Structure 1
């Protein structure tokens, strides 16, 4: 298989220009979908027949939980690409995505706790799903701390990649914890491969919110990666040309 395209895309200059063209549309569409999804889900969707209006927190909780897990999967893939093909841009993606994933995990845990108060009668319980999500947060923090603690860039990239790959074993635990163990956490509310167990008036705004969160992630990630590329390549001629500083 010809991997020339991967190395071409891995060029900092090419990526910087491509990301610049993509980030604004992603953020603009994310903002539009987020506004539509919030109004639709929080005010127009019908209340749940068991949980009433307290279920509406799922319109933030579920997208954040999805994104928290997907982001860590991206870290693992970027780590593998960095270790195998030695692409510097893979480490840029890993380091740029980790803080976003950590915040999504915090949002998922916080909204899950708020949801748990009226549903379970407590804000926290050492449930398998909650505990594995807490482990995910620690993994994110570990990647961030490891990258900042090691001064040598290549050593830091290797260490972060290995931690991301090792920590990825937690992802199937999060996904299947509800099925593997007796747990208070309800089964998946929303699945991309199965018909949602709720009427369209309830799951359509959830789908809009999921798309909004992922587009927001894409836009912010591209922006953070562009800044990191500039920080690493600021001495390069293409950076001076890109910023209009040639000959300054």
Structure 2
């Protein structure tokens, strides 16, 4: 219990905007350029160093974009949920800003997942779209992202404390297990789980660039979130300065 109680003050100390910025400023370009380099290496490897699939042919290469996009769409909402819990439970000073910073890139990757899945589905299923369990639940996640962005913006404009978006951020996590297990719970067009913790049904000759792409896109995602948080803090500081000047 003592250890757990000691964590909370430490989190608040690290959440000090000046301390956060001191860490985020040098970290952002490092994450961005390392992520960009890994994505370029992964694209090169996926396009030139892997064989076509014996059934899907060259279209299998879409997985190097589609899988990381799906991973980060779900991971982004997990980040929003964690930030929302931190806001509601510990009143974390930067939690609301972190959640808002994650929302837009998370929605972008959800949209990218839907677009690449549709492109992949056309030659594989013979249709651009199917009201399949996995596709429909991912589409719902995209809409939930859009709703969170609108709700967080409205809450900020009216001077709210972020609690309403935080509750919404936690409630939205109900979609994550539905997306994850939709191919198990329902008989759908989407293929079943291909990658697990201990095994994969994908040929290693095709699979090996995927971890590189996952790492690269994850680092880019983190860099974008840090950029957005820094921009939001700078805007809040500028607005506070303008209010002080107006009162003077």
TM-score (norm 1): 0.91
Alpha-carbon deviations, 1:194-227, whole Å to 9, x = none? 2222333211101100101100001111111111
1:218 aligns with 2:226: no
Residue in 2 that maps onto 1:230 = 234
Superposed counterparts of 1:5-16, under 5 Å: 5-16=10-21
1:108 aligns with 2:120: no
Segments of structure 1 that go 5 or more residues without pairing to the other structure are 238-248
Superposed counterparts of 1:1-248, under 5 Å: 1=4, 2=6, 3-150=8-155, 151-155=157-161, 157-191=162-196, 193-234=197-238
For 1:75 and 1:230, how far apart are their aligned partners in 2? 21
Q: CA deviation at 1:235?
A: 6.8
For 1:168 and 1:109, how far apart are their aligned partners in 2? 19
Q: CA deviation at 1:236?
A: 7.4
For 2:223 and 2:195, how far apart are their aligned partners in 1? 24
Alpha-carbon deviations, 1:123-179, whole Å to 9, x = none? 100000000000000110001011222323334x11111111111100000000000
For 1:208 and 1:190, how far apart are their aligned partners in 2? 15
Aligned residues: 235
Q: CA deviation at 1:21?
A: 1.8
Q: CA deviation at 1:17?
A: 1.0
For 1:201 and 1:18, how far apart are their aligned partners in 2? 39
For 1:169 and 1:91, how far apart are their aligned partners in 2? 20
Segments of structure 2 that go 5 or more residues without pairing to the other structure are 242-248
Could you list the structure 1 runs, at least 4 aligned residues long, displaced by more than 4 angstroms after superposition: none
TM-score (norm 2): 0.91
For 1:198 and 1:134, how far apart are their aligned partners in 2? 25
Aligned CA-pair RMSD:
1.4
